[in-house]
Amino acid sequence: MKHTPGPWSYGNGEIRVIGGNINLLDRLDPIAIVKRMDEPEQQANAALIATAPDLLEACQISHKVLKDFIEYANETNEVMVSKAMQTAFLMTGDAIAKAT
């Protein structure tokens, strides 16, 4: 599954989350519409949706770094992998699987 490439953005009023290739078609057929923008929670929802491509990329990079570190630790026994690192590795992997 492939998502609309970022960056995604949103504006004032009724928020329409629009992909990086901003053209007329994108404006007519946005990624998401968040209504009731007078409510702070809805503005936060729109900001979170618009940040999704960046969050996915951050998860992918973090997952790779954690994977490399865990493999190094297992091969060398020079460093220990904390429970938090193992949990972060599993959580980033799960999040990436849900998003892709």
Name every residue whose Cβ is closer than 8 Å to that of residue 99 and which is 6 or more positions away in sequence. Answer: 3, 52, 56, 59
Q: Do 37 and 59 belong together in one domain? A: no
Cis? peptide before 30, omega within 30° of 0: no
- Domain enclosing residue 20, as ranges: 15-50
**Is pLDDT larger for residue 95 or for residue 7?**
95
Give the pLDDT score at 85.
Answer: 94
- Measured CA distances, 5 to 16, 22, 44, 90, 94 (Å): 15, 11, 21, 25, 21
User: For residue 8, what are its two tokens?
Assistant: 């995604």
CA atoms within 13 A on the CB side of 1: 6
Q: Do 92 and 70 belong together in one domain? A: yes
Is 81 domain-assigned? yes
Q: Do 82 and 95 belong together in one domain? A: yes
Q: Do 58 and 93 belong together in one domain? A: yes
Q: Do 42 and 74 belong together in one domain? A: no
User: For residue 96, what are its two tokens?
Assistant: 């990436």
pTM comes to: 0.77
In total, how many domains does the chain have? 2
What are 21-76's pLDDT values in tens digits? 655 555 566 777 777 767 788 888 888 888 888 999 999 999 999 999 999 998 99
